[in-house]
Structure 1
Amino acid sequence: MAEEKYTRQTVTHVRAWVPGKLFSLRVSRDPAYAFQPGQFARLGLAAEDAHDCAAPPGLWRAYSMVSAPHEAELEFYSIVVPEGQFSPRLARLRPGDALYVDKTPFGFLTLERFPDGEDLWLLATGTGLSAYMSILRDPTVRRRFRRVALVHGVRTAEELAYRDEIQALAGQDPGLTYLPIATRETLPGMPQDRLTTLVADGGLERLAGLALDPARSRVMLCGNPAMLADARKLLGERGFAPGRRGIPGNLAVENYW
């Protein structure tokens, strides 16, 4: 009998960040499951018409790990897409329920993409924050970079999941800058604007007190396709580009939509 390509894990905790819209969950972790900060897992649920809730998975979706590689459980952060086949069911899971995890981690939004640099910029919209939480929870990032700037673009303040944790990390580490940016309300000390506008007019650099310099900066982008396309173009005009054919780059991009 062929070995299964996935393991059956158990939900241990569920948190609603914005009821009916944003949530996170933690699940048990197979001891053999290893990943790099920034990678994602394929999560599986039994087919919707399955009579047994523990039936083999019939539907799969990709979710970045929020948890760091050293943590005992796996954590994931998601938005509920009302008409979706997967996220509404994922949001209804409760402790004790089953969730399947593919044995192979995926993705290249990792620090291994970059040669050493001085500054790391982490730019995300919405649930694209997930991968960056894994990176921030891992001590490797602060050994490699002098400064880290995390920029999280949302519509309203209630969508700033993990805000308290990030602020606590920044309070302990003067080399970490956290810039929460909302487009539909003004947050204290922050402009009400889109991330791409702030990249274009230099606003992010002024807020962070840090230059976007292709010679010393490394930039990660994770979020909705429109933001990625616009930011990639703006940064490309300034000398940022992904690595190719063995040539290290200073830009890494992942669509989180």
Structure 2
Amino acid sequence: MTELKYTRQTVTHVHTWVPDKLFSIHTTRDPAFKFQAGQFARVGLPEGDDPAAEPTVWRAYSMVSAPDEDRLEFYSIVVPEGQFSPRLARLQPGDAIYVDKTAFGFLTIERFPQGGDLWLLATGTGLSAYLSILRDPGTWRAFRRIVLVHGVRSVSELAYRDEIESWRAHPDFAEHFQADPRKLIYLPIATREAIPGMPQARLTTLIQNGELEQLAGMKLDPEQSKIMLCGNPEMLSEARKLLGERGFAPGRRGIPGNLAVENYW
């Protein structure tokens, strides 16, 4: 008998951020499933409506949960005409969901030498991997400061904002803020709504005109800064070009880089 490459898990909670658009789903976790913060899993569902059928439709989702949590958490947008996300959004606690036994992806802090500053730049649901990375205590010890930038269209799409802003007082992170009140700099950016103190602009515009550095109060320095990019292909292509002109590049042939990129589309 061929051993299955996936496990059957159970949905435990579904949270709606924006009705019919953005949601998070929590599931049980197979104790044997291991991953590094920033990696993704293949999540599966049966093609039809029979909950007992074998999973045949698979999509990649970054883990939002930290590697040491006993559950898995995924954050998703609903693609109305999609074959997968609308059905995923309709799942209820107790429903079955399938997870590949192997984690994938290289958007992890292991890509970089420790030290210096970590910049996490995301649009939309590209935030997912960064939440896992930031929920991992090792990240906070590995870098001097962390800048988290989340670009969205409207304020309602700033998922996890309350959690991120609560970390300053959280027992797991408070010591870092006591040592440096600017340990984590969180910049929520909405292009179609005003946020006090924040510009209404695309993330790439803020990189190009220098305003991102002004908002963070820090320089994008290739010698000190490590940058992760996660989001839609258009943003990634433009941001890579802008950052490449400033000396940022992925690692190659055993040479550590200062840029890591993952398409989240």
TM-score (norm 1): 0.98
Number of residue pairs matched by the alignment: 255
1:201 paired to 2:199: no
What's the CA shift string for 1:155-175, capped at 9, x where partnerless? 000000000001111454320
Aligned to 2:15: 15
2:52, 2:6 → 1: CA distance?
A: 13
1:78 paired to 2:86: no
1:91, 1:36 → 2: CA distance?
A: 25
The counterpart of 1:190, out of the listed 193, 198, 222, is 198
The list of structure 1 runs, each at least 4 consecutive aligned residues, that deviate by more than 3 angstroms after superposition, is none
Q: CA RMSD in A?
A: 0.8
Q: Superposition pairs for residues 172-183 of structure 1, below 5 Å?
A: 172=174, 173=177, 174=181, 175-183=183-191
The counterpart of 1:115, out of the listed 100, 113, 123, is 113
The counterpart of 2:61, out of the listed 60, 63, 70, is 63
What's the CA shift string for 1:81-138, capped at 9, x where partnerless? 0000000000000000000000000000000111123100000000000000000100
Aligned to 1:253: 261
Aligned to 1:128: 126
Q: Superposition pairs for residues 83-122 of structure 1, below 5 Å?
A: 83-122=81-120
Is the contact between residue 38 and residue 107 of structure 1 (CA under 8 Å) also seen in structure 2? yes
1:170, 1:117 → 2: CA distance?
A: 21
Is the contact between residue 219 and residue 250 of structure 1 (CA under 8 Å) also seen in structure 2? yes
Aligned to 1:163: 161
2:26, 2:255 → 1: CA distance?
A: 37
Aligned to 2:45: 45
Q: Structure 2, unaligned stretches of length 5 or more?
A: none
1:227 paired to 2:235: yes
Identical-residue share of aligned pairs (%): 74
Aligned to 2:245: 237
Q: SS of 1:20's equivalent? A: coil
TM-score (norm 2): 0.95
| Greater Cα shift, 82-91 or 200-209 | 200-209
Kindly provide the amino acid, as one letter, of the partner of residue 76 in structure 1.
Answer: F
Query: Judging changes above 3 Å, is the alpha-carbon distance between structure 1 residues 170 and 192 closer, same or farther for their aligned structure 2 residues?
Result: farther
1:217 paired to 2:225: yes
Is the contact between residue 169 and residue 176 of structure 1 (CA under 8 Å) also seen in structure 2? no
